[in-house]
Amino acid sequence: MSSPPGRGRPFLPGSALRDATKTSFHRSQTLDYRNGCAFFRLPTVGIGGEQLHVNQLSEAELDELSSIRPTLTYGQAKRAPPSDFIPAYVAFDKKVMDQWAENDVIS
């Protein structure tokens, strides 16, 4: 076990001592089949049966996150300016079709 951060040496990453009496290192199962389909479920216990600290959001926090509009994060959407209007007789002036189709006439 590691000593509390106020006594002795400072608590630094990697300075925690492991429990030498621990002998169980089983991993919990997270994959399962239901009605013939495989699905993933969150682990309930950690390696060796240790309790996991769950970081699940409450219902109020989920509602708050779902109600945030993207405009608050990204700002108003900018639309491209419309192109200038060009009439068809000007746009297709002096354009030549260079395709030729020939069909056999059956009599």
pLDDT at 97 (0 to 100):
72
Residue 52's contacts (CB-CB under 8 Å, 6 or more residues apart) are 43, 44, 45, 46
pLDDT at 4 (0 to 100):
54
**The two three-digit tokens of residue 92, written as one number:** 């297709």
Q: Is the pLDDT at 9 greater than 70, yes or no? A: no
Is the Cα dihedral 95, 96, 99, 102 positive or negative? positive
Task: Report pLDDT digits (tens) over 19-41.
Answer: 778 777 777 788 888 898 988 88
pLDDT at 87 (0 to 100):
93
What's the rounded Cα separation, in Å, for the pair 107 and 105?
Answer: 6
- Tell which wins on pLDDT, 4 or 28: 28
pTM here is 0.29
Q: Is the pLDDT at 85 greater than 90, yes or no? A: yes
Q: Is the pLDDT at 78 greater than 90, yes or no? A: no
How many Å from the N-terminal Cα to the C-terminal Cα in the chain?
99
